[in-house]
């Protein structure tokens, strides 16, 4: 008995020493508001890693672009200014068209299709990120994308000249093709942009409109279900390679749970936030058939353009996705 106690004490001491020796803190910049489901998922992921490693690795999230703004997060991680972080994948479409696979209008319009499209695209995206000094951990879709305005809109003609907030190359192109005037603005800054009239419309999820209380400036949300873009969490490759295998295993496990939980939350948040927009006084409902048909025509143009820009690897993603239907 005494022997066992001594042994246990020795083991505890070794564990403590090991913990003390490698105890590390990773700051994790995130671009979206603290209340958003992606940020909630990231916070749970961070807690899972911290608990799972007995504090040997503590991850601390910084939502709302408070540590690095959305547009700066990827570079910050590539260069090692931050070890880990989350960003909108299609935000990098200007670097490489492949990053925009999830923002091709009407290619994947439901959560189920979005999951299949991700399965088709993941190996290519993982390789691309790896070539940029980044390790992919997990990715979670936003709810389906619809259109926000401050007036009733029933056709593309009604959009002409409207100032449109974009968040990636595809959304800016959508504005051009509908005769609107694109201006790129981070989600963290849209409430102000709408309040001051810098922008008066956008394509986004009910989630982002709800998070940013856009009913204070806008009046209509049209459900279009045009696509479901993804956020992803990445780690600096050098930092990853320098991490103990036992810690890496915990991170991978927590990342896998985060991906499932994030998907669950995204679906749940879809209805919740559309009701939230209604409660804020907005008119929420499907876009008219005429408008949807016009948008689908524009979608065809954008699909062709994306396939051209994304080359053989882009086509392979679409083919793999279609083969899953």
Asked if 167 is part of the footprint of ligand PCA (rule: CB under 6 A), the reply reads yes
Distance CA 134, CA 129 (A): 5
Q: Nearest distance from residue 90's CB to ligand PCA, in Å?
A: 8
Asked if 222 is part of the footprint of ligand PCA (rule: CB under 6 A), the reply reads no
The strand order across the sheet containing 163-166 reads: 181-184, 163-166, 201-204, 146-149, 220-223, 283-286
Q: Nearest distance from residue 17's CB to ligand PCA, in Å?
A: 45
Cβ pair 73, 87 in contact under 8 A: yes
Q: Nearest distance from residue 70's CB to ligand PCA, in Å?
A: 8
Closest residue (Cβ) to ligand PCA?
Answer: 205
With CB under 6 A as the contact rule, the residue among 229, 262, 299, 314 that binds ligand PCA is 229
For every residue of 112-179, DSSP letters joined together read HHHHHHHHHHHHHHHHHHHTTTEEEEEEEEPPPPEEEESS---SGGGGTT-EEEESSHHHHHHHHHTT
Cβ pair 201, 150 in contact under 8 A: yes
Q: Which is nearer to ligand PCA, 49 or 214 (CB)?
A: 214
Asked if 164 is part of the footprint of ligand PCA (rule: CB under 6 A), the reply reads no
Range in contact with ligand PCA (rule: CB under 6 A) among 192-200, 202-210, 247-255, 270-278: 202-210
Binding mask 270-289 for ligand PCA (x = CB under 6 A): --------------------
H runs (alpha helix) in the chain: 2-22, 37-52, 70-78, 111-130, 169-177, 190-196, 206-211, 237-241, 245-279, 289-323
Asked if 208 is part of the footprint of ligand PCA (rule: CB under 6 A), the reply reads yes
Binding mask 99-138 for ligand PCA (x = CB under 6 A): ----------------------------------------
With CB under 6 A as the contact rule, the residue among 104, 187, 234, 251 that binds ligand PCA is 187
Task: Say how many CA atoms lie within 13 Å of 201 toward its Cβ.
Answer: 28
SS3 annotation, 278-306: HHCCCEEEECCHHHHHHHHHHHHHHHHHH
Q: Nearest distance from residue 300's CB to ligand PCA, in Å?
A: 22
With CB under 6 A as the contact rule, the residue among 207, 217, 263, 266 that binds ligand PCA is 207
Range in contact with ligand PCA (rule: CB under 6 A) among 21-29, 74-82, 205-213, 282-290: 205-213
Range in contact with ligand PCA (rule: CB under 6 A) among 203-211, 234-242, 243-251, 309-317: 203-211
Range in contact with ligand PCA (rule: CB under 6 A) among 8-16, 72-80, 201-209, 249-257: 201-209
Q: Which is it for strands 146-149 and 57-62: parallel, antiparallel or unpaired?
A: unpaired
Q: Which is nearer to ligand PCA, 83 or 259 (CB)?
A: 259
With CB under 6 A as the contact rule, the residue among 28, 73, 76, 88 that binds ligand PCA is 88
Phi first, then psi: give them for residue 263, nearest 5 degrees: -60, -45
| Spatial CA neighbour of 177 closest among 114, 117, 226, 143 | 226
Residue 234, strand partner residues: 85, 136
Angle of CA points 68, 74, 75, to nearest 5°: 85
Give me the residues that bind ligand PCA (CB under 6 A), please: 88, 142, 167, 187, 204-205, 207-208, 229
């Amino acid at each position: 008995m005494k022997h066992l106690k001594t042994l246990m004490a020795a083991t505890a001491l070794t564990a403590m020493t090991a913990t003390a020796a490698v105890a590390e803190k990773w700051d994790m910049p995130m671009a979206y508001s603290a209340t958003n489901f992606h940020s909630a998922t990231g916070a749970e992921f961070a807690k899972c890693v911290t608990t799972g490693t007995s504090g040997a690795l503590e991850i601390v999230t910084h939502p709302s672009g408070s540590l690095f703004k959305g547009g700066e997060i990827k570079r910050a991680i590539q260069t090692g200014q931050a070890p880990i972080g989350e960003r909108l994948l299609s935000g990098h479409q200007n670097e490489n068209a492949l990053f925009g696979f999830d923002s091709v209008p009407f290619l994947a319009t439901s959560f189920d299709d979005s999951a299949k499209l991700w399965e088709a695209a993941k190996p290519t995206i993982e390789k691309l990120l790896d070539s940029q000094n980044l390790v992919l951990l997990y990715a979670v879709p936003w709810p389906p994308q619809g259109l926000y305005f401050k007036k009733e809109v029933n056709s593309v003609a009604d959009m002409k000249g409207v100032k449109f907030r974009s968040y990636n190359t595809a959304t800016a192109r959508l504005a051009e093709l509908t005769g609107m005037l694109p201006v790129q603005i981070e989600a963290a800054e849209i409430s102000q942009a709408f309040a001051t009239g810098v922008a008066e419309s956008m394509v986004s999820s009910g989630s982002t409109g709800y998070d940013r209380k856009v009913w204070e400036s806008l009046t209509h949300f049209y459900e279009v279900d045009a696509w479901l873009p993804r956020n992803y969490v990445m780690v600096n490759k050098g930092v990853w390679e320098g991490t103990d295998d036992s810690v890496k295993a915990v991170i991978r496990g927590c990342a896998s749970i985060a991906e499932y939980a994030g998907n669950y939350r995204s679906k749940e948040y879809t209805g919740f936030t559309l009701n939230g927009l209604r409660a804020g006084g907005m008119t929420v409902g499907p876009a008219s058939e005429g408008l949807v048909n016009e948008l689908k025509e524009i979608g065809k143009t954008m699909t062709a353009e994306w396939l051209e820009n994304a080359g053989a690897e882009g086509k392979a993603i679409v083919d793999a996705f279609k083969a899953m239907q």
